[in-house]
Amino acid sequence: MRYFCVALGSVLLISLIGQAHADSQKLRIISWADYVPADLIAAFKKETGIDVEVTLSNNEEMISKLRATGGAGYDLAQPSQDRIASAEREFGIYRPLDLSKVKLEEFQPALLGIVKRNTTVDGKQYGLPYLWGTDGLVVDTKRAKVADYTDLCNADLKGKTAIRLRRPTLMAFAFAAGKDPFALYGDPKAYSALMDQVGATLIACKPNFKFFYDNKDQLLNGIRSGEVVAAMMWDTGGWTLNRDNPNIQFVVPRSGALGWLDTFALPARGKNDAAAYAWINFTMRPENAARVIKSVGNFSAAKDTASLVDPRLKAQFTAAFPDSALKNIHWYPAIPTGLEEIEGKVLDRIKAAN
């Protein structure tokens, strides 16, 4: 019996060692579509021997999946910077970064500073910048003229515009009304009143909306077909349309574009931090960051990528964001608990209104 127990223990030990080795040879990432291109995975595997397994997701699903497992199942997550602090405080689904393992010199300092400010909880940093972009306006300049979000409600554009019925639209219309919704994050009562005002504006504007779009193909096809002549839209979508039709342009609104930053974050119970840090440092090298830019069309937080970016994309970016416009980006701050519930009720009222 003693020999049997020893043998069984040896088998279990070998099994555990084998599993630990397997874990060290795999990096499990939960991320957005196109953020982890196949050629980058292949290059990483060739350099490190580590396989990369990708699960496609979005902010809400990342929080839900990590909450359900207590932060297990993945070694690296890529939530937006505004979705980290509150999720960590409420659910404890992330672990602090060990910045000594990160080549911080590879990051653009300004973007690094923004993410540090918005992902620090109790003095510990939980996020690093990866990709960024903006929401603004896209317009067929031959058929419409818009300078700010509320121009989508102009009488001559009835039935010809589109928005996404999500929180960025509420933020955009608040800024266009001369209000700063982010400044009210600490005052739920005032924030709720502002959201009610924005909701009333959007309800009054409903006859102008051809549809509330749910995905990028729906909007892109609507603009290409001429059904929609102006819309609230992300920058890269506008630039994609512009390459096919120069009359369609991405416009930075007078009240400012809305800026998002997606990140690197470590799930609380990931099994392979070493691979996660290796991936972070690998993807932020300029030549690898350029591969990601090519894949997704958005810009990287990595330094020294300008000379590696497609010249046409670089020209579109420069035309849309001269220095003054770039400074006027409203970056999403960390969302306090409870605000999305306020927004959800307003969005429901807009959807239900006749």
Q: What is the pLDDT of residues 129-177, one digit of tens each?
A: 999 999 999 999 999 999 999 999 999 999 999 999 999 999 999 999 9
Mean pLDDT of 59-88: 96
Please give the Cα distance from 328 to 256 (Å, whole number): 5
pLDDT per residue as tens digits for the range 212-222: 998 889 999 99
Phi, psi of 69 (to 5 degrees): -105, 5
pLDDT band at 12 (very low <50, low <70, confident <90, very high): low
Best CATH choice for the domain 2-130+261-309 from the list 2.60.120.620, 3.20.20.120, 3.40.640.10, 3.40.190.10? 3.40.190.10
Residue 17 has pLDDT above 50, yes or no: no
Give the model's confidence band at 321: pLDDT under 50 very low, under 70 low, under 90 confident, else very high.
Answer: confident
Q: Is the pTM of this model over 0.75?
A: yes
Residues in the chain: 354
Residues of the chain with CATH 3.40.190.10: 2-130+261-309, 133-259+330-352
List pLDDT tens digits, range 118-140: 999 999 999 999 999 999 999 99
CATH 3.40.190.10 given to domain 133-259+330-352 = yes
C-alpha distances in Å from residue 46, one per residue of 39, 42, 56, 241, 282: 11, 6, 23, 36, 12
Please tell me the predicted confidence (pLDDT) of residue 163: 98
Is 219 in contact with 163 (CB distance < 8 Å)?
no
What CA–CA distance (Å, rounded) separates 151 from 144? 10
> Which of 2-16, 21-35, 297-311 bottoms out in mean pLDDT, i.e. has the lowest?
2-16
Task: Find all residues with CB under 8 Å of 126, minimum gap 6, and list them.
Answer: 84, 85, 88, 94, 95, 96, 97, 119, 120, 265, 266
* Half-sphere exposure (Cβ direction) of 108: Cα atoms closer than 13 Å: 19
Cα–Cα distance, 255 to 328 (Å, whole number): 8
User: Which residues in 32-110 belong to E strands, given as ranges?
Assistant: 51-56, 76-77, 94-95
Distances (CA, A) of 42 to 30, 46, 169, 282, 286: 17, 6, 38, 12, 17
C-beta neighbour count of 298 within 10 angstroms = 21
Beta bridge partners of 212: 163
β-partners of residue 128 are 264
**How confident is the model at residue 280, as a pLDDT?**
98
- Least confident range of 44-53, 197-206, 306-315: 306-315
Check if the beta carbon of residue 92 is closer than 8 Å to that of residue 66: no
- Is a pLDDT exceeding 60 seen at residue 7? no
